[in-house]
Chain A
């Protein structure tokens, strides 16, 4: 059963702690993305990676870090430097190259609450 998994579904952390959100895909997609969604807002791109061991900052990368050591995995770390980390975090993947490269498929998301 191919797809994208994110865990956990709900995550609670104290302010000042770093937290890592997982994202795994078995779709054999080259590109992976991280977004955050705030209530009443559109999705905003945090980081993306088009190939293993390479990634680029999106529009709101400050306070976040990523790694892409394996094609299947693209974990996101929310650091203590992120001023407003509470949000719904969505991971997506797509086939790289050509017009289809931007048809993105999303995981179920992780709701992070930092208090």
Chain B
């Protein structure tokens, strides 16, 4: 199993729809998790941290499932501007191991 794995997509979703994707990780001792978004040829930008209790920021909800070793990102009422690549990040080893997923490409269709 790869250390961090994401479905590369692309996910083509109509505007206004709800979309969700997961990121699986192999190290059960991983302690911190994040979602970033990256626009084409730009730097990644922090979207949200993923807490054990889950967290919500507007239309975005992040969840952590430690038993099944994955994190998820749900986007409600998707906008054209949500089109981007979404990267998950998993931190383990006391912070010495930082693993980025390869990203999931999302296209919101008008």
Contact = CB atoms under 8 A, between A and B. Distances in A.
Interface of A: 33, 35, 40-45, 48, 56, 58, 88, 90, 99, 101-109
A103 B34 contact: yes
Nearest to A96: B95
Contact of B43 (A33, A42, A107): A107
Given A44-B100, A48-B98, A102-B34, 15 more contacts: A42-B87, A42-B101, A42-B102, A42-B103, A45-B98, A99-B32, A101-B95, A102-B91, A103-B34, A103-B46, A103-B49, A104-B46, A106-B44, A108-B42, A108-B43
The 7 closest A-B pairs by CB, nearest first: A106-B43, A42-B100, A43-B100, A42-B102, A102-B91, A102-B32, A109-B43
Interface of B: 4, 8, 32, 34, 41-46, 49, 87, 89, 91, 95-96, 98-103
Contacts of B4: 42
10 contacts: A40-B8, A40-B102, A42-B101, A42-B102, A43-B100, A48-B98, A99-B49, A102-B91, A104-B46, A104-B89
Contacts of A40: 8, 102
Contacts of B34: 102-103
Contacts of A58: 98
Contacts, number: 46
A80 to B, nearest CB: 27
Contacts of A99: 32, 49
A40 B98 CA distance: 18
A43 B32 contact: no
A105 B91 contact: no
B68 to A, nearest CB: 21
B87 A102 contact: no
A84 B55 CA distance: 40
Contacts of A109: 42-43
Given A42-B4, A108-B42, A102 B95 contact: yes
